[in-house]
Structure 1
Amino acid sequence: MQKVRVLIVDDSALVRKVLAAMLESDPGIEVVGTAPDPLIAREKIKALNPDVLTLDVEMPRMDGLTFLENLMRLRPMPVVMVSTLTEKGADVTLRALELGAVDFFTKPAADLANTFMDHAPEICAKVRTAAGARPRERTTVTKVEKPDLSLSKLDVTPRLSADAVLPRAQTPGSRGGQRIICIGASTGGTEAIRVVLEGMPPTAPPIVITQHIPAAFSGPFAARMDTCSAMKVCEARDGQPIQAGHVYIAPGNQHLLVMWDGARHVCRLHDGPPVNRHKPAVDVLFRSMAASVGAATVGCLLTGMGDDGARGLGELKEIGAHTLVQDEASSVVWGMPGAAWKAGAAAEMLPLDQIAARLLALAHTPIPTVAARVGT
């Protein structure tokens, strides 16, 4: 089996040394070279032709974002960003994902020499996934403008099902009289979500989203999406009412559930264990939608590694909800949507640039009655 060939670009000699040791602990990965800045990296890419690049942001002679933008224009290749777990680092990393980076890995804030190696399984998994990803130019869509209102370790975390947070409801049903759209995504999802939200009008039905993302990144990600979408986008808060024209994004360290409080649907945050090794987990969101929104749900799985969300999407389809997934050609990684499609959990599969319009169309179809769903 051919090894994934990696070039490490970082101005810190310590980081280059530790990253190389982390990656080469995986028998399927070979570090073919390192570079202290983008100009040297440019020559080594030509000479070594690596499969994947790991790229720091702050470097001498040329910053990582400028180099990434040039790289994606002249020689597109899979890139995993290595960034700091701070609010500033989050903004820069999200910009890197917009420019075409496949994924990112966050460096520990302190005691790098002693703690970095603990994250070897995570960075190795990201590099292996990136090697099979399809780097692409930024997708552009006709953006719907806002109205002027003057306004833990991947390989060792136990793999639990959504039952660990929310048992499957025995009698799911539609409540509240409105459609709610739910979206799940992982690797490549920050850009896919942008494309979907840019296609939504300010009066669109409410949207709830679980994107696999660190806690320090979810707030900046929601703020960035708010500038992209005509809808009002926010990081979800516990007890927050769910309203049309609004988008609610799961915080990076808590599961997001949608619950019925007797009068309306609200966001509920749950500090339970990781599900499918993720927190937040898409299966948890989808399970809560099946229980509280029922057949009024419109469920969608976008690009991502693994299979989180596939089982939950299947539960939604079973109770009569509309379900769809992103197609393989437009996905950065066709793991989550592919697993759902192969399991028969999705009724439709569409390219990314068609998903917003289809979600809107489905969200405006009549909500089936209980009798219609059971065929009486």
Structure 2
Amino acid sequence: MAIAVTSASTASTAAGDRLRVMVVDDSVVVRGLVARWLEEQPDFEVVASLRTGREAVDQVERLDPDVAILDIEMPVLDGISALPLLLAKKRDLVVIMASTLTRHNAEISLKALSLGAADYIPKPETNRGVTTSADFRRDLVEKVRNLGQRRRRQRGFRPAAPAPSSDERPTAGRTVPPVVDKPPTCKLRTLSPTIPRVLLIGSSTGGPQALNEVVGHLGSVIDKVPVLITQHMPPTFTTILAEHLSRASGRTVREGQDGEPVVAGRVYVAPGALHMQVARRDGGPVIVLQDGPLVNFCKPAVDPLLTSAAQVWGAATLAVILTGMGSDGARGAADLVTAGGSVIAQDEASSVVWGMPGAVAQAGLCAAILPLAQIASKVTRVFSGERS
């Protein structure tokens, strides 16, 4: 049995207000690497490095972690079985599921979200891949930081300012805003006087649950106009997401295909590892898939979809920006608003992470900033002619 545990009482005294993280993975290589990456961050402390879900369940109350990184495939007790047991013992624990890119694991990861996991992170399939993947390391650190800090704020804990992160590094000529404790007052714009002819949705961390809520209640909107979605997800995950959304909405939802016409009655999801854009060909809009460089550290990214849609539909475009880290969507939203279109953002209280919606809200690009539960009804009213 391979267990590395830091004394809970000692760690609490030494760590101060650092985020306490528990790493649970049956691979000693992965555990060691992840623990080392996290310990290098001045605002983190790894309180345990465990091999099985059973060890995690048995020790979670004593260790009192803020965040658990939980592998799916483990001996004795796997991740999906351990998840509800961990949350039963510590209801405010942030659990990030880690899984390799197989259809089976993608299904389990999305199921875990419905059982209370805060997020998932796709894990390279080999130990060598884990060792060499800068994207995996960056994404893991940022998910732990953003999700852990938000949960602490919900408990009324005010952490010290975090170390500079990838979300604060210059991106495409601008600086991405860091996590904020309290949003400033955001100035709202008036809705476009033109009734939209397309709906665009962008999301990231917390997006699968948010998309189920919104798309599942759009109903007549999907019958009237096409809906295009970019969710930050890898291949296979986006395929399964489309299947879940199809069941939730009772409409045709599938990954977009290069060159296919964009028509009312269908929902198009950007495929993992490809940017989904739109263009006008032979008088009508079509899907354009591009295997270009990362945009805002993402592929697919929201900005390319919004910018291209602004060129195709102009003022007849409505975009919704849901929960997610970083500021992807802000540049595209600015292009869309310049073309006369409108943007709705999810509010901070209902967002898992108020990065993406916060960026467009703070830039003054929104016609409305709403709780998740109110977004679908607002969108429905806008497509029915409401202009305020």
| TM-score, length of structure 1 as denominator length | 0.82
Residue 116 of structure 1: CA displacement? 5.3
**C-alpha separation in 2, matches of 1:243 and 1:269:** 17
Over 3 Å counting, the alpha-carbon distance change for 1:160 and 1:216 in structure 2 is farther
2:311–2:339 contact (8 Å) kept in structure 1:
no
**C-alpha separation in 2, matches of 1:45 and 1:204:** 50
Corresponding letter in the other structure for 1:48: L
Which residue is 1:360 aligned to?
A: 380
Corresponding letter in the other structure for 2:140: I
2:368 is aligned, of 328, 331, 348, to 348
**C-alpha separation in 1, matches of 2:312 and 2:129:** 47
Which residue is 1:146 aligned to?
A: none
Over 3 Å counting, the alpha-carbon distance change for 1:315 and 1:178 in structure 2 is closer
Residue by residue over 1:119-163, the C-alpha shift from the partner in whole angstroms, topping out at 9 and shown as x without a partner, is: 43332122112212349xxxxxxxxxxxxxxxxxx689983379x
Residue 355 of structure 1: CA displacement? 0.9
Name stretches of at least 5 consecutive residues in structure 2 with no aligned partner. 1-15, 153-165, 175-191
Residue 266 of structure 1: CA displacement? 1.2
Which residue is 1:94 aligned to?
A: 110
2:326–2:356 contact (8 Å) kept in structure 1:
yes
Which residue is 2:223 aligned to?
A: 203
Which residue is 1:309 aligned to?
A: 329
Seq. identity, %: 42
2:114–2:209 contact (8 Å) kept in structure 1:
yes
Over 3 Å counting, the alpha-carbon distance change for 1:128 and 1:81 in structure 2 is same
> In the alignment, is residue 160 of structure 1 matched against residue 169 of structure 2?
no
Residue 178 of structure 1: CA displacement? 6.4
Residue 79 of structure 1: CA displacement? 1.3
1:195 is paired with a residue whose SS is: helix
1:84 is aligned, of 84, 100, 106, to 100
1:80–1:130 contact (8 Å) kept in structure 2:
no
**C-alpha separation in 1, matches of 2:213 and 2:273:** 24
2:24–2:70 contact (8 Å) kept in structure 1:
yes
1:226–1:233 contact (8 Å) kept in structure 2:
yes
Pairing 1:19-98 to 2, within 5 Å after superposition: 19-72=34-87, 75-98=91-114
Over 3 Å counting, the alpha-carbon distance change for 1:19 and 1:178 in structure 2 is closer
**C-alpha separation in 1, matches of 2:358 and 2:226:** 25
| TM-score, length of structure 2 as denominator length | 0.80
Residue by residue over 1:264-302, the C-alpha shift from the partner in whole angstroms, topping out at 9 and shown as x without a partner, is: 111111222111221111111110111111111111100
The RMSD of aligned alpha carbons is: 2.8
Over 3 Å counting, the alpha-carbon distance change for 1:116 and 1:53 in structure 2 is farther
Residue 100 of structure 1: CA displacement? 2.6
Corresponding letter in the other structure for 1:159: T
> In the alignment, is residue 186 of structure 1 matched against residue 204 of structure 2?
yes
Name stretches of at least 5 consecutive residues in structure 1 with no aligned partner. 136-153, 163-173, 368-376
Corresponding letter in the other structure for 1:249: V
User: Which range moved further: 36-45 or 290-299?
Assistant: 36-45
Residue 204 of structure 1: CA displacement? 4.5
> In the alignment, is residue 106 of structure 1 matched against residue 118 of structure 2?
no
User: Which range moved further: 333-342 or 14-23?
Assistant: 14-23
2:68 is paired with a residue whose SS is: strand
**C-alpha separation in 2, matches of 1:324 and 1:257:** 20
**C-alpha separation in 2, matches of 1:279 and 1:114:** 19
Residue 113 of structure 1: CA displacement? 8.0
Which residue is 1:228 aligned to?
A: 248
**C-alpha separation in 1, matches of 2:359 and 2:290:** 25
Pairing 1:148-297 to 2, within 5 Å after superposition: 159-160=171-172, 179-201=197-219, 203-297=223-317
1:200–1:230 contact (8 Å) kept in structure 2:
no
1:38–1:64 contact (8 Å) kept in structure 2:
yes
**C-alpha separation in 2, matches of 1:206 and 1:222:** 15
